[in-house]
Amino acid sequence: MKLLPRWLIIILVAALPSLPLEAGPTAATRARAFAALPDWRGIWQNPWWATADASGNVSGGFSEIVAHTKLMGPAPYNATWEAKRQADLARMNAMSGPPPEGKVCMTSFPAMMEGPGTLQLVITPEETLILADEGRVRHIYTDGRPHPTKDNLWPTPAGDSIGHWESKTLVIDTIAHSAGFAGPFPIPGTVELSEDAHFTERLRQVDPNTLEDDMTIEDPARLTQPWHLTLRYIRLTLDRMIAYDCDENDRIEVINGRAVVAPATPR
Amino acid sequence: MRESTLGRCVVRAGTIVLLASLVGRGYAHHSGAMYDLNQSITLSGTVRTFQWTNPHCWLQLVVAGKDQPVEWSVEMGSPGQLFRLGWRPGTVKPGEVVSVVVHPVRNGTPAGKYVSATHADGTPLVTSATAVSAGSAP
pLDDT digits (tens, 9 = 90+) for A41-71: 999 999 988 888 999 888 777 777 777 899 9
Alpha-carbon span B28 to B111, nearest angstrom: 19
Predicted local distance difference test score (pLDDT) of residue A196:
97
Over residues A27-38, mean pLDDT: 94
The predicted-structure confidence for A88-103, as pLDDT tens digits, reads as follows: 888 888 877 766 777 7
In a mutational test of the A interface, the residue from B35, B38, B71, B78 whose CB has the highest number of chain A CBs within 10 Å is: B78
Task: Specify the pTM.
Answer: 0.83
| Cα–Cα distance list, B88 to A50, A175, A264 (Å) | 18, 41, 20
On the question of pLDDT at B24 being above 70, the answer is no
* Residue type for position A107: T
Q: Nearest CB to A187: which of B19, B82, B136?
A: B19
Phi/psi for A12 (5° steps) reads -65, -45
Residue B62 near chain A (CB below 8 Å): no
- Please give the full DSSP string across A106-153, using - where no structure is assigned: ---TTGGGSSSSEEEEEE-SSEEEEEETTS-EEEEE-SS--PPPGGG-
Give the residue among B63, B60, B65 at the shortest CA–CA distance from B76. Answer: B60
Residue A10 confidence class, pLDDT cut points 50, 70, 90: low
Over residues B3-17, mean pLDDT: 29
The predicted-structure confidence for B52-109, as pLDDT tens digits, reads as follows: 999 999 999 999 988 999 999 999 999 999 999 999 999 999 999 999 999 999 989 9
User: Cα–Cα–Cα angle for A247, A72, A113, nearest 5°?
Assistant: 60
Residue A2 confidence class, pLDDT cut points 50, 70, 90: low
Give the residue among A87, A38, A63 at the shortest CA–CA distance from A235. Answer: A38
Q: How far is A122 from chain B (nearest CA, A)?
A: 15
On the question of pLDDT at A21 being above 60, the answer is no
- CA–centroid distance for B103 within its chain: 8
Q: Which one-letter DSSP state was computed for residue A3?
A: P
Asked if the Cβ–Cβ distance from B79 to A116 is below 8 Å, we say no
Q: Using the CB atoms, write b or e for A6-40: b if 16+ within 10 Å.
A: eeeeeeeeeeeeeeeeeeeeeeeeeeeeeeeebeb
On the question of pLDDT at A1 being above 80, the answer is no
Alpha-carbon span A8 to A68, nearest angstrom: 72
The predicted-structure confidence for A170-182, as pLDDT tens digits, reads as follows: 999 999 999 999 9
Asked if the Cβ–Cβ distance from A56 to B76 is below 8 Å, we say yes
State the average pLDDT for chain A. Answer: 89
Residue A16 confidence class, pLDDT cut points 50, 70, 90: low
Element (H or E) spanning B118, and its range? strand B111-119
